[in-house]
């Protein structure tokens, strides 16, 4: 069972609960609910000195005796984690060992990113993914909502290259992809289910690169998949897109992309700062991909109140993030990316042996590490990028690449 319980003091005997035995508090949390042997107690005043802030947000206490078990937690999310821990142990063993225990996550962010911009994943798949993440105590699902394929040999014409934007809105008729996009009702279903399972959605609308969907919709905004940042109406349009869709998003954070732009370093910095400020004006904390080293050499002049995905040591490495004071998430491309059926980035799935033996959320490629649980390191996130837009594969085949290491990553992110 992953993740395992962090602290446990064994007692005498075992508890063999009746099937489905949870108190009515379980009904409010979307868990099986029949009066019985397992009691769930929500206590906002509950603290644990060792667990600290992580316990206060998602931790729980366990108390198991021969005549019953109690899960106590300061938050509903903690109660869900505790109840799942007991239910998973029961599913495997049929009984619970007596004792006292406590658990909490080692990191705030324990995530997974899915590129739905290049390849549409059905609402049913997304909902199933949310449920599975909740079972493993993974708590953030980042949905990369727009992107495009590559030109042939990276130099050919953009005609015929796939481009996708996956949200439907009457304000922008024709922007949503004809081969699949999510309606407001479908997005609401994601948010509802995520809340039930202790998962937060991190929507990502990417620019100023990976923007072919936008330049096709408004050709005056740029060329190919790069926005023309010299035109004020370009940034104004992107702000309008965010204005339209942010009311859909219930979580506290929003990702505005900002990766792999290859033009106008100074204009890129202006765009980065403008979009970070705009996201905050809409009531969300901004996130972005780390690009500072490749774009301008360093992070001088960039907005610091942004969480950065440190995805490439060449574009912006974690040691630079620590130096510059950015909060960051380990999304290391060499270790945590899957590109299905490509010839790079783990096309057949991540390296389970390496993850088991050597990887932790503070470990990056090329032997680079930061201090475990560094206060600026928020956590980690693996990712699926569907670069091969011309390839013929299904969402089920993608899951078969992800599933073998999903629980390994969950355990490492939780237990740290």
Q: What is the pLDDT of residues 193-233, one digit of tens each?
A: 999 999 999 999 999 999 999 999 999 999 999 999 999 99
Give the pLDDT confidence score for residue 134 in this predicted structure.
95
Strands (E), 122-271: 140-144, 146-148, 163-165, 200-207, 222-223, 226-227, 253-257
Q: How far apart are CA 276 and CA 375, in angstroms?
A: 22
Nearest to 388 by CA among 69, 68, 119, 132: 119
What predicted TM-score, i.e. pTM, was given to this entire model? 0.93
Tell me the mean pLDDT in the region 342-360: 96
Q: What is the pLDDT of residues 164-201, one digit of tens each?
A: 999 999 999 999 999 999 999 999 999 999 999 999 99
| Catalytic residue flag (residue 45) | no
Annotated domain spans of the chain? 7-103, 109-415
- Mean pLDDT, the chain, rounded, equals 93
Give the pLDDT confidence score for residue 31 in this predicted structure.
55
Q: What tokens appear for 302 in the block?
A: 């960039």
218: number of CA atoms within 13 Å, CB side? 19
Nearest to 39 by CA among 58, 5, 64: 64
Tell me the mean pLDDT in the region 134-146: 97
pLDDT at 1 over 50: no
Give the pLDDT confidence score for residue 332 in this predicted structure.
98
Q: Which of left, alpha, beta for 131 (phi over 0: left; psi -120 to 50: alpha)?
A: alpha
pLDDT at 57 over 80: yes
pLDDT at 234 over 70: yes
Give the pLDDT confidence score for residue 152 in this predicted structure.
85
More confident residue, 27 or 96: 96
Q: Does domain 7-103 have CATH number 3.40.50.300?
A: no
Q: How far apart are CA 87 and CA 31, in angstroms?
A: 10
Task: Calculate what percentage of the chain has a pLDDT beyond 90.
Answer: 87
Q: What is the pLDDT of residues 366-415, one digit of tens each?
A: 999 999 999 999 999 999 999 999 999 999 999 999 999 999 999 999 99
For residue 82, CA distances in Å to 110, 141, 381 come to 17, 21, 22
- Active-site residue among 25, 204, 260, 395? 260
Q: What is the pLDDT of residues 277-286, one digit of tens each?
A: 999 999 999 9
pLDDT at 27 over 50: no
Q: How far apart are CA 139 and CA 410, in angstroms?
A: 9
Q: For the domain covering 109-415, report its CATH number.
A: 3.20.20.80
> Beta strands 146-148 and 96-103: pairing type?
unpaired
| Angle 71-73-76 from CA coordinates, rounded to 5° | 105
**49: pLDDT confidence band, cut at 50, 70 and 90?**
very high
pLDDT at 321 over 80: yes
Are 97 and 10 a contacting pair, CB within 8 Å?
yes
């Amino acid at each position: 069972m992953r993740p395992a319980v962090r602290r446990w003091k064994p007692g005498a005997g075992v508890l063999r609960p009746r099937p489905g035995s949870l108190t009515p508090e379980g009904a409010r949390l979307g868990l099986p609910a029949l009066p019985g042997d397992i009691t769930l107690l929500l206590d906002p005043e509950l603290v644990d000195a060792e667990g600290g802030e992580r316990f206060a947000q998602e931790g729980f206490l366990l108390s198991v005796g021969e005549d019953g078990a109690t899960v106590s937690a300061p938050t509903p999310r903690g109660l869900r984690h505790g109840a799942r821990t007991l239910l998973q142990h029961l599913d495997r063993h049929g009984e619970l060992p007596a004792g006292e225990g406590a658990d909490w996550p080692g990191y705030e962010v324990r995530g997974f990113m899915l590129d739905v911009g290049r390849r549409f994943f059905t609402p049913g798949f997304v909902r199933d993914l949310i449920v599975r993440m909740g079972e493993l105590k993974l708590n953030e699902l980042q949905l990369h909502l727009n992107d495009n394929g590559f030109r042939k040999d990276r130099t050919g014409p953009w005609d015929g290259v796939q481009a996708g934007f996956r949200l439907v809105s009457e304000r922008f008729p024709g922007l949503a992809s004809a081969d699949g996009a999510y309606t407001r009702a479908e997005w609401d279903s994601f948010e509802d289910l995520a809340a039930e399972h202790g998962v937060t959605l991190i929507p990502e609308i990417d620019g100023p690169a990976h923007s072919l969907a936008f330049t096709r919709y408004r050709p005056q905004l740029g060329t190919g998949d790069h926005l023309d940042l010299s035109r004020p109406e370009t940034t104004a349009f992107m702000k309008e897109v965010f204005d339209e869709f942010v009311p859909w998003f219930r979580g506290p954070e929003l990702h505005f992309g900002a990766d792999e732009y290859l033009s106008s370093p100074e204009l890129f910095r202006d765009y980065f700062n403008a979009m970070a400020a705009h996201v905050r004006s809409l009531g969300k904390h901004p996130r972005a991909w780390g690009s500072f080293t490749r774009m301008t050499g360093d992070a001088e002049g960039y907005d610091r109140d942004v969480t950065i995905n440190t995805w490439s040591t060449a574009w912006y490495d974690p040691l630079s993030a620590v130096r510059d004071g950015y909060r960051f998430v380990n999304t290391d491309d060499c270790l945590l990316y899957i590109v299905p059926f490509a010839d790079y980035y783990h096309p057949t799935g991540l390296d389970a042996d390496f993850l088991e033996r050597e990887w932790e959320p503070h470990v990056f490629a090329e032997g680079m590490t930061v201090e475990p649980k560094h206060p600026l390191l928020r956590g980690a996130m693996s990712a699926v990028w569907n670069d091969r837009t011309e390839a013929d594969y299904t969402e089920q085949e993608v899951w078969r690449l992800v599933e073998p290491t999903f629980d390994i990553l969950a355990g490492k992110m939780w237990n740290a």
